[in-house]
Structure 1
Amino acid sequence: MAKHEEINSISGLNASKGIVIGTAYVRKLDQETIVARTLISTDKIAEEMAKLKKAQDMVAEELELVRKKIEKNLGPAYSDIISTQLAILTDQEVFREVKAYIEEHHVNVAFAYRVVVNQYVELLEDHDSEYFKERVSDIRDIKQRVLLALISKQTILSTFTIDKPTIFVSRDLNPSDIMMLVSENVVGLITEFGGKTSHVAILARAMKVPMITGAKEALQNIESGQTCILDADHEKIFIQPSQELLDEYAREIDKLEKQEQVFIAAHDKKAITKDGFTFKLGANISLPFEVDDVKKYGADGIGLYRTEYLYLMKQDLPNEEELFNEYRQVIENMQNKEVIIRTIDLGGDKMSVFWDQDIRFESNPFMGYRAIRICLDQPSVFVTQLRAILRSSAFGKASILLPMITHIEQLTESMAYIEEVKRTLDKEKILYDRSIEVGMMIETPAVVMNIENFVDKIDFISIGTNDLTQYTLAVDRGNERVTNVYNHYDPSIIKMILKVVNAAHKAGIPAYVCGEMASEFRALVLFMAMKVDGLSVVPNYIGAVRDHINTCEQRNAEQHLKKILQMKTRKEIIDYLDNLSDCS
């Protein structure tokens, strides 16, 4: 696509890739609702509180409909997010505070409800915790639903009816919104707030709905009924575009759709270079229903199964049976193709709700209490997940992947827990795969520098290029002020990856890559030259990556790598890779 800088366009962040054209529907309810303040007499208080109860019942009925959709698409374990919203909706303390406010100020119930709930929002908005920011979104969503029911006697679903491709625009979204909207002819999503790594963004990617977040001027610039182009691939939104631009994008969308059909038809092909070097091409997934796409696009297995989503969608820690049922479903559906299950990689800010410890306010959560550190500090959480993984391994081919290992002692302790769980299952006469493989993520410079002491203790390694780049370059990849610093093609990153791959091969174990870099064409030359054993990408990238590999020659890639290793700047490297007419 040619670059376009039309006057009527805004930018944001790519939360879920894709390009769509549709009619905008702007949910103005996300903006602060103007509620009239009306004085009432004491004898009207009971009547006002009855109005609130009726409005809450209307919202509860709507949320139950959303719960059914979530359970149908994801399974019962994921509907806890609606339980959270219902708990907020029916909170008796809020009900009592609203009544007390009315009794003291003699005002109408809508005004009192808005004041009371806004106080909760203001308290939580001051917190640094991403978890509590998510709760703010839930509270604000319930507030708007209740106010709509109070003022207009309508619910959000009753006000939202569409019969054509629609791009939904709002201040922010909840997972329940996504589940409600994607089956209602919504082809794209735009929000003013939210991040690329939020669970809403993950769900949008899983459901293949193009989404742009962080579009700060969306509600100000977009009106319902306007035609929009949502180009998440290039992080642009075009409002009321010219016919010329519409035609150009229509051709691009048609081209992409045809190309996708070609990739699906070729799902049996393997990722083999022209001179016979074979990659194991896996898929990254977060939710069980993504397995359908994994099979549709012809992945060799699941190279990274992120297991965090069930934890994020529940009020309480998932129990062993819930985890086991989910893992078993994925493993059985993959029909003996490998499923690499990563143990939870969550930060303390998201997990603190499950414990009494105050770990919500870390100044730098990426460097703090997260992933394997939590698992080893909270062994009951770790053991529960390990039991579920091992039990599910009896129903197909599963492997365990440990994230954020930074020193040998962590790996040793993790392996000890795995062995302890195996012994317990043996005593209980519960079946599992006794030869299950255990690997570790390579994500920090500390592990890279000491890689030779790790590779003889594990069965495989998987390089997480996103975190490896972040930690090596000391850059927050979510901070827009330093995005120019974050770059996979820094000479240090390429040398680190090569060092890790060579160490793995010397130890006789496979080396995989599962970060964003695995799906970038310019990086494939590097991975061929290094003889990386496998790549793992999102399911709908599998066809394009495989097709590119099929056009390359591995021996020529080695010559390119020799030249690149002599280069001193990332610009030199990127320019060199981009100027290759092909990778042969």
Structure 2
Amino acid sequence: MPLNAANAAREILTGLHDVMARRGSAQGKLDHVVDLIAEAMKSEVCSIYLLRDNALELFATHGLRKEAVHVTRLQLSQGLVGTIAAEGRVLNLAEASSHPAFAYRPETGEESFHSFAGVPIIRRENVIGVLAVQHADARGYQDVEIEALQTVAMVLAELIAGARLVDGSDRRRARDGMVRLAGLKLVSGMARGTAVFHQPRVVVEHTVAEDTELERARVYAAFRKMREQIEHMTREAEFGTVGEHQEILETYKMFAYDEGWSRRINAAIDSGLTAEAAIERVQQRTRARMQEIDDPLLKERMHDLEDLANRLLRIVSGRMGTAAQTGLQRDAVLIARNMGPAELLEYDRRRLKAVVLEEGSLTSHMVIVARAIGVPVLGRITDIRHTANEGDTILVDGDQGSLVVRPTSQVTASFEGRMAMSQRRRAEFATIRGAPATTKDGRRCTLMVNAGLAEDSAQLEAVGADGIGLFRTEFQFLVSATLPGRDSQLRLYRQVLDAAGDKPVIFRTVDIGGDKALPYLADEKDEAENPAMGWRALRLSLSRSTLMKAQARALIEATDRRVLRVMFPMISEPWEYEEARALFEEQLAWARDNRRIQPSRVEFGAMLEVPGLAEMLDVLLPRVDFLSIGTNDLTQFLFAADRADPRLAQRYDWLSPAILRFLRRVAREATAAGVPVRVCGEMGGRPLEAMALIGVGIDNFSITPAAVGPVKAMIRSLDAGAVRTRMEQLLARPPRDMRKALTDWAKRQGVVLG
């Protein structure tokens, strides 16, 4: 075969154009097509398998026995062809029989052929067949050969669909009746709305170009228009000019100007494709690469590129009628395979009630933005775009990670009842928003919030929180395409402090590494099986002192004569705390010597997440101003249980006597040393667990904003002395079910648990 993929593909496409223009049956045309491909690729065999009646049928062949046509059938995942169709990916084998999925079909006469290459034939994101070539020699196929096959397969898809040769090439797999689906909780909240498809697919109707230069000019014009749109969105973003959202949009813009991407589209046009088909061709390649990527952050970068490809396709085709641009006419639940952050910002916030994704992840840029604007999001809802019809009613329960499509009147009434109850509860919490979190017997507790976005500071007054007990500075690093500089960090920290006013903000230094891999820190990715216990957080920061110095200077200058409160994560031994504090004190000294703006006071804290640190509290406590307990990591370390493993999610309870005894011991030592202790994590955000924590001597919490109201209501209905007495009794003789014992006691005492 020629080594130039564009020339080979162009030669085949020119022949295909002639074949499609002739009169004759679809079968006759496909018979011509396989001969054409085999000749152009100098291949002994070329075969086309089509999906019919849920099986792959040999529909046309050059080189295999003709009597096998319409006789040989393979189930999805059966044999090499079935594997390609089931997984939607390419197979390139020098020796076909060596592959574990190889299945010999004697009626085809293929025993004399060794090498095999096959590509899926895809239409509207669905595999409708397989195009395969075989050679007698055992040899691997070059990348340019595979590229040519994929380009030809794309054009074949239109011929096949137009002739209605496959199952439902234009079908819609929507169902009638109510359907319940479960997925991944990305942003909590409940919502009801009608299904709106974020981005109706642009169907590429013409694939073979008449004039290559004209198609290239269309793509150049579309690129210019797309870049103008991105620049406009970056300038006009409602989030302002600083913070994580600006970093996200800058990353998005970086892809819009990526020359490698435009070169690949140009190369596809060179092969003879129209502008639309070329963009779709490169998009298919991107999707195939995404299937091979395990790193969630790199996958997110690929999703941004997919988002831009869809935008470019709409521009070049002149079909700009997305749901955002045509406007939402009523309360909507937006449905998409995936979304980029910029497209989410285009929607009317008054009408957008929820987003449902077939994919999506907790580290997604879009999810970070959705959380900031308060839109519930569910991800990993398999096949939602085929289950729901445009205009269907959808009930989204972001708290439970589920949804209902086309609910019955009874289900709708129940859902609306729960929504109304939730709204009443929020109204009740609003009445105590300004009241202190004080127990019935006068014990004052503090309720602070965990935050990671600049906009989170604005929620302090809205929920009645006492401050920010944990500001996750790593969010800015996770959504940025490059390492955030000192000035970028300074602007973010200053914005957070200004928004918080006179309420305290505790900044946690960056907790990156392990499972929070950053592509721009080349040696930072932890390949260990237990990344949470790997090279992350303070361990990584101390090894990269310039990173930590830049953050220290940014925090010092941003504080601007206010109190700077900073804490260090993942401390295992006191010397790590001492080294981190010394680094900050060096930067404070530098600021003094250079007459820079300084904090009025600095408070240093440590996070207790590693159980071993509890054995060294007598050494650590005299040196810290406060202690924060990170219950999420601490629990998984105490139980040696990965909190991300669904098999273990419900197995180890926060109300285990082992955890409560551990926390009681830490609280007693900290109190004796005169050091305030606070729980940061999900444990403190649950009323029953928070009640137990008060029972072991912990009165300070940093929790999600949504949890402040329920926990405050619990505190104001609680007798702190009574719960401490009861906890001492239960921990002395632990019951089999601590959760039930505490729940029963709370009910008898009239404690509000929500």
Superposition TM-score, scaled by structure 2 size: 0.71
SS of equivalent to 1:278: coil
Q: Distance in 1 between matches of 2:241 and 2:424?
A: 29
Q: What is the deviation of 1:350?
A: 4.9
Q: What is the deviation of 1:352?
A: 3.6
SS of equivalent to 2:583: helix
Query: After the TM superposition, which residues 113-192 of structure 1 pair with which residues of structure 2 at under 5 Å, given as runs?
Result: 113-154=279-320, 156=322, 159-181=325-347, 183=349, 185-192=351-358
Q: Give the 3 Å change call, closer, same or farther, for CA 79–139 of structure 1 in structure 2.
A: same
Q: 2:179 corresponds to which letter in structure 1?
A: N
Does the 8 A contact of 1:229 with 1:237 survive in 2? Answer: yes
Q: Give the 3 Å change call, closer, same or farther, for CA 364–192 of structure 1 in structure 2.
A: farther
Does the 8 A contact of 2:514 with 2:526 survive in 1? Answer: yes
Q: What is the deviation of 1:28?
A: 5.5
Judge which range, 473-482 or 175-184, deviates more. 175-184
SS of equivalent to 1:388: helix
Paired residue for 2:43? none
The match for 1:572 among 721, 737, 742 is 737
1:225-281 per-position Cα deviation (integer Å, ceiling 9, x unaligned):
111111122222122222233233323323332332343343221111101111011
Q: What is the deviation of 1:362?
A: 5.0
Paired residue for 2:578? 412
Q: What is the deviation of 1:509?
A: 0.2
Paired residue for 2:179? 8
Q: Distance in 1 between matches of 2:317 and 2:728?
A: 69
Q: 1:64 corresponds to which letter in structure 2?
A: E
The match for 1:343 among 503, 509, 518 is 509
Q: Distance in 2 between matches of 1:306 and 1:76?
A: 13
Does the 8 A contact of 1:438 with 1:458 survive in 2? Answer: yes
SS of equivalent to 1:353: coil
Q: What is the deviation of 1:333?
A: 2.8
Q: Give the 3 Å change call, closer, same or farther, for CA 308–115 of structure 1 in structure 2.
A: same
Q: Give the 3 Å change call, closer, same or farther, for CA 560–177 of structure 1 in structure 2.
A: farther
Q: Distance in 2 between matches of 1:296 and 1:199?
A: 25
Paired residue for 1:235? 401
SS of equivalent to 1:283: strand
Query: After the TM superposition, which residues 5-404 of structure 1 pair with which residues of structure 2 at under 5 Å, given as runs?
Result: 8-27=179-198, 29=200, 35-36=204-205, 38-41=207-210, 44-70=211-237, 72-73=239-240, 75=242, 78-103=245-270, 105-154=271-320, 156=322, 159-181=325-347, 183=349, 185-196=351-362, 198-347=364-513, 350=516, 352-357=518-523, 359=525, 361-404=527-570
Does the 8 A contact of 2:448 with 2:468 survive in 1? Answer: yes
Q: 1:218 corresponds to which letter in structure 2?
A: I
Q: 1:573 corresponds to which letter in structure 2?
A: M
Q: 1:63 corresponds to which letter in structure 2?
A: I
Q: Give the 3 Å change call, closer, same or farther, for CA 28–490 of structure 1 in structure 2.
A: farther
Paired residue for 1:447? 613
Q: 1:38 corresponds to which letter in structure 2?
A: T
Paired residue for 2:629? 463
Q: Distance in 2 between matches of 1:488 and 1:176?
A: 39
More helix by share: 1
Q: What is the deviation of 1:423?
A: 0.9
Q: 2:501 corresponds to which letter in structure 1?
A: Q
Q: What is the deviation of 1:336?
A: 2.1
Q: Distance in 2 between matches of 1:566 and 1:392?
A: 48
Does the 8 A contact of 2:458 with 2:500 survive in 1? Answer: no
Q: 1:305 corresponds to which letter in structure 2?
A: F
Judge which range, 141-150 or 253-262, deviates more. 253-262
Aligned residues: 573
Q: Distance in 1 between matches of 2:586 and 2:499?
A: 28
SS of equivalent to 1:128: coil
Q: Distance in 1 between matches of 2:513 and 2:326?
A: 36
1:417-457 per-position Cα deviation (integer Å, ceiling 9, x unaligned):
01111111111112322531111111122223433332222
Does the 8 A contact of 1:405 with 1:440 survive in 2? Answer: yes
Judge which range, 491-500 or 461-470, deviates more. 491-500
Does the 8 A contact of 1:529 with 1:554 survive in 2? Answer: yes
SS of equivalent to 1:234: coil
Q: Distance in 1 between matches of 2:409 and 2:497?
A: 48
Backbone CA RMSD of aligned residues: 2.6
SS of equivalent to 1:340: strand
Paired residue for 1:494? 660
Q: What is the deviation of 1:197?
A: 5.2
1:5-59 per-position Cα deviation (integer Å, ceiling 9, x unaligned):
x962111232222211111213355x8x764563335xx1111111112222333
Paired residue for 1:528? 694
Q: What is the deviation of 1:89?
A: 2.6
Does the 8 A contact of 1:169 with 1:219 survive in 2? Answer: yes
Q: Distance in 2 between matches of 1:216 and 1:74?
A: 36
Q: 2:188 corresponds to which letter in structure 1?
A: K
SS of equivalent to 1:480: coil
Q: 2:742 corresponds to which letter in structure 1?
A: L
Does the 8 A contact of 2:178 with 2:406 survive in 1? Answer: no
Q: 1:25 corresponds to which letter in structure 2?
A: V
Does the 8 A contact of 1:349 with 1:361 survive in 2? Answer: no
Superposition TM-score, scaled by structure 1 size: 0.91
Does the 8 A contact of 2:563 with 2:603 survive in 1? Answer: no
Q: What is the deviation of 1:328?
A: 1.9
Q: Distance in 2 between matches of 1:349 and 1:13?
A: 18
Q: Give the 3 Å change call, closer, same or farther, for CA 196–82 of structure 1 in structure 2.
A: closer
Q: 1:15 corresponds to which letter in structure 2?
A: L
1:492-549 per-position Cα deviation (integer Å, ceiling 9, x unaligned):
2222222221221122101101101111111122111122131112223222211110
Does the 8 A contact of 2:186 with 2:361 survive in 1? Answer: yes
Does the 8 A contact of 1:285 with 1:304 survive in 2? Answer: yes
Q: What is the deviation of 1:354?
A: 2.7
Does the 8 A contact of 1:129 with 1:360 survive in 2? Answer: no
Q: Give the 3 Å change call, closer, same or farther, for CA 219–568 of structure 1 in structure 2.
A: farther
Q: 1:186 corresponds to which letter in structure 2?
A: L
Q: Give the 3 Å change call, closer, same or farther, for CA 202–92 of structure 1 in structure 2.
A: closer
Paired residue for 1:475? 641
1:113-164 per-position Cα deviation (integer Å, ceiling 9, x unaligned):
3323433443354233222111121121112222232334326466552122
Query: After the TM superposition, which residues 557-568 of structure 1 pair with which residues of structure 2 at under 5 Å, given as runs?
Result: 557-566=723-732
Structure 1's consecutive aligned runs of 4 or more residues displaced over 6 angstroms after TM superposition are: none
1:197-224 per-position Cα deviation (integer Å, ceiling 9, x unaligned):
5454344333222222222242232222
Judge which range, 54-63 or 406-415, deviates more. 54-63
Does the 8 A contact of 1:71 with 1:79 survive in 2? Answer: no
Q: Give the 3 Å change call, closer, same or farther, for CA 358–291 of structure 1 in structure 2.
A: closer
Where do 5+ consecutive residues of structure 1 fail to align? 1-5
Paired residue for 1:3? none
Judge which range, 480-489 or 163-172, deviates more. 480-489
Q: Distance in 2 between matches of 1:13 and 1:449?
A: 38
Q: Distance in 2 between matches of 1:34 and 1:263?
A: 50
SS of equivalent to 1:102: helix
